[in-house]
Amino acid sequence: MRAAIEPDPERPVTPAARLLETCFLTIYSGTCRLYRPLRHVIGALVLTVFALMVAAVVQIYPVSNWDMVAYTASVLESDISDPIELHDRSYALLKENVSEGEFQALTGDREYRIRQFEDPDAFATMLGFYRLKLGYVETARALSAFMDPVKSLRMISMLSAVAVAGVLLVWLARHGALMYGPIVVAMLIIADFGGSAALLSPDLYASIFLLLAGFLYIERQDLAAAASLIAALFIRPDHLAFIGVFFVFALIYGPGRWVMTATFVLSALAYAFVLKGESHPGWWIHLWFTHVEYVPTLEGFDPPMSPVIYLQMLVRSTVRSLMSNTWLAALLALVIFFAKVIKPAQMADRARILLYAIFTSICAKYLVFPHYETRFYFPYLIAMGTILLIAWHQQDKTASRSNPA
């Protein structure tokens, strides 16, 4: 047991303070002795319970956003070709699955939502933003055989929360690091895991496959990692940025270079196919729509490219990231941890390659499309954190063996 505090000659320790310190250290030491043999079980349990709690909250207290209407329509349009019928059915399903107050907010609280609710043709022009998430839409469509599309979208969010935790548990267990479960939970909270799970969006679903790809690549399962990356691409095509950066780093450093090269080529072809086949309005219109204004219809909308407006988007997005989101702070903390704690030369080659590729891809993605919401960076932040946590764990074990107490 650690000794009690030594008295300071300039500030004598009272008997009450000494007793309090002794009691605290006794309790602390006893807790550590009980915790140590069970630390892996406790760490796994904390992470599992947290993920199940988030999944339960997603189902019990679902969050409603306007995108759920568009995703619902994307699921339905394989069976409904008439724009008016598709519009009416999508909003009818929305009304069945949200409260009256939420329905009013999603259909009447601003000009854009009012126009989408009242104008089926304007609504139809928006679906190009959503139907290109083929993997997400097709999964919801498959689940719609058993439940309505809105419930299927919520089911995907719930199962994605559990699956993300499952991948992280396997990753930690593989490296004997399950005791860090509480730290991973803290990382998940900072990276807005709960918010990503609550929204009906493909972000967390794609995160499963991105995290799985990272784990499989480190485990030298290159073909399985490639398949996971392609799955993530079909769920959210903008992950092509990461696949491209990852391929470059693999090509330079060596491990997995040919598989990742083939993965990038296939992904680029798939990306071009998806964007052409699913009527996406294009990069600049999407950027304008996200950062300048929600135009009520994309029919005939074609704003000229402007470097000045693009710079304004970057500044505005950065301010919003700093004021109301956590991803920049989390990224900075991870970079500082790497610089101050980790010895890169002692990291496994594949872990180091993956870490560098993730960091570079975050910067590249932000320059290409400056998203300000943390959910867009969730899988990258969690993968970086997990890599660094395991590297720290391995280096600490090596140091302990080299310098036994």
Evaluate whether residue 175 is within a structural domain. Answer: yes
**What values do phi and psi take at 8, rounded to 5?**
-95, 120
Given a contact cutoff of 8 angstroms between Cβ atoms, the answer to whether 245 and 361 are in contact is yes
For residues 302 and 211, the model is more confident at 211
- Looking at the domain assignment, is residue 24 inside a domain? no
Between the alpha carbon of residue 255 and those of residues 175, 215, 234, the distances in Å are 20, 14, 25
Number of structural domains the chain divides into: 1
Number of H helices, E strands in the chain: 21, 0
Whether residue 376 is contained in a domain is answered as: yes
Residue 7 belongs to a domain: no
- pTM recorded for the entire structure: 0.90
Residue 69 covered by a domain: yes
pLDDT single digits (tens) 227-242: 999 999 999 999 999 9
- Domain residue limits at 55: 39-398
Do 47 and 181 contact (CB within 8 A), yes or no? yes
16 falls within a domain: no
Q: Is residue 5 part of a domain?
A: no
- pLDDT tens digit string along 158-170? 999 999 999 999 9
What are the tokens at 73?
């329509």
- Tens-digit pLDDT profile for residues 21-58: 888 888 877 777 776 778 889 899 999 999 999 999 98
pLDDT single digits (tens) 250-264: 999 988 889 999 999
Evaluate whether residue 31 is within a structural domain.
no
Rg of the chain, C-alpha, whole Å: 25
